[in-house]
Structure 1
Amino acid sequence: MKQVKRNTHLDHKTKGDIEAEISEAIIKFEREYMGRGPEGARTYIMDDLVIVRLRGVLTPAERQLAKSEGSGQGRTLIKQVRMELLEKARPLLEALVQDITGQTVRSLHTDISTVTGERIIVFSLTGSFILPSG
Structure 2
Amino acid sequence: METTLQKKGQLEADISKAITKWEKEFLGRGPLQVKTDILRNMVIVHLKGILTPAEKELAKTEAGMISIKKNRADLIEAGNHHLREIILTATGVTVDSFHTDISTRNAERIIVFILKENLEKQLNE
Percent identity over paired residues: 47
Which stretches in structure 1 are left out of the alignment for 5+ residues? 1-10
In the alignment, the residues of structure 2 paired with residue 60 and residue 101 of structure 1 have an alpha-carbon distance, to the nearest angstrom, of 34
Residue type of the alignment partner of 2:10: D
Of 80, 86, 94, the residue aligned with 1:96 is 86
Residue type of the alignment partner of 2:9: G
Give TM-score, length-normalised by structure 2.
0.91
In the alignment, the residues of structure 2 paired with residue 67 and residue 105 of structure 1 have an alpha-carbon distance, to the nearest angstrom, of 35
| Equivalent runs, 1:11-26 vs 2, <5 Å | 14-26=7-19
Of 30, 41, 59, the residue aligned with 1:37 is 30
Kindly provide the CA deviation profile for residues 65-121 of structure 1, in whole angstroms up to 9, marking residues without a partner as x: 0013xxx11000000000000000000000110110000000010000000000000
Structure with the bigger RCO (C-alpha within 8 Å, sep 6+) is 1
Q: 4+ residue stretches of structure 1 with deviation over 3 A?
A: none
The answer as to 2:29 corresponding to 1:52 is no
Of 6, 20, 34, the residue aligned with 1:27 is 20
The answer as to 2:97 corresponding to 1:131 is no
What is aligned with 1:5? none
Give TM-score, length-normalised by structure 1.
0.85
What is aligned with 1:83? 73
In the alignment, the residues of structure 2 paired with residue 131 and residue 20 of structure 1 have an alpha-carbon distance, to the nearest angstrom, of 15
In the alignment, the residues of structure 2 paired with residue 27 and residue 99 of structure 1 have an alpha-carbon distance, to the nearest angstrom, of 15
How many residues matched?
Answer: 118
In the alignment, the residues of structure 1 paired with residue 40 and residue 95 of structure 2 have an alpha-carbon distance, to the nearest angstrom, of 13
CA RMSD of aligned residues (A): 1.2
Displacement of 1:127 after TM fit? 0.5
The answer as to 2:104 corresponding to 1:114 is yes
In the alignment, the residues of structure 2 paired with residue 34 and residue 98 of structure 1 have an alpha-carbon distance, to the nearest angstrom, of 21
Which stretches in structure 2 are left out of the alignment for 5+ residues? none
In the alignment, the residues of structure 2 paired with residue 88 and residue 38 of structure 1 have an alpha-carbon distance, to the nearest angstrom, of 18
